[in-house]
Amino acid sequence: MTRMNKPTRILSALALLGCLAGAGPAFAQGYYRYQAADRPVQWYVNGGAAIPEGDTASNFNNGWTIGAGVNVKPAPGPFMLRFGVDYSYFDASDQLIAANPSANYGYMQTLTGFADGVLELPINPWTHLYAMAGPGFGYRGIYLTNGGVYCSPFFCGSGYGSGSLVGRDTSTNFAWNAGVGVDFALPRGQSWFVEARYERFDTAFAPTEFIPIRVGFRF
């Protein structure tokens, strides 16, 4: 299957968010009004797919991501701050394994943390669109293995897909991200959301970049 280029993927993600925003009133039937809009502190958890881009897409397959954080609203209004940490995992592509014949498996793990400014746009009493952007850090670990058992900084594995270490590259770099999302109110001031972000950090030789598409819950 032919991979979509970056602009096409971003437009597809935005189209999905737009469709969900249009469906907001239907989802909101029977729910309370948007009570979470001006809460000063609101925690969240999220998870979803992570789609590599650029050179990252040549070396790694689509992966998954989970994360958590907090929204802080200093004053009532459309602006708030968001602080979050996310973990993402990607299996190595056949191209990367073929370029490293001593390995039969590989993967990349990232740990990112961002401090974002968020601007909200109310659509109706139950639905908000929002845009966000901000700086942060990005840790990346790439591991190539060839059988046996191997433990990375995050977990140990055995059997297929794990092995003794034959190659490793780790670094922590400045990172930035930008994205859009849509938020739907739930009872008791909670809400759920779906969002797409572009995340990038400047690792050696080529940047690490991917687009997480996440579904989350605020409480």
DSSP notation for 191-205: EEEEEEEEEEE--SS
Domains for the chain: give ranges and CATH numbers.
Answer: 6-218 (2.40.160.20)
Residue 55, pLDDT above cutoff 50: yes
Q: Look at the chain and count its residues.
A: 219
Residue with tokens 């979803």: 48
Give the pLDDT band (50/70/90) at residue 38.
low
Q: 180: which strand partners?
A: 131, 196
Q: In this predicted structure, which of 53-62, 104-113, 159-168 has the lowest mean pLDDT? A: 159-168
Report the pLDDT value the prediction gives residue 150, as an integer from 0 to 100: 59
Residue 27, pLDDT above cutoff 70: no
Q: Which of 79-83, 156-160, 165-169 has the highest mean pLDDT?
A: 79-83
Predicted TM-score (pTM) of this structure: 0.80
For the chain, give the mean pLDDT.
84
Task: Give the span between the Cα atoms of 68 and 66, in whole angstroms.
Answer: 7
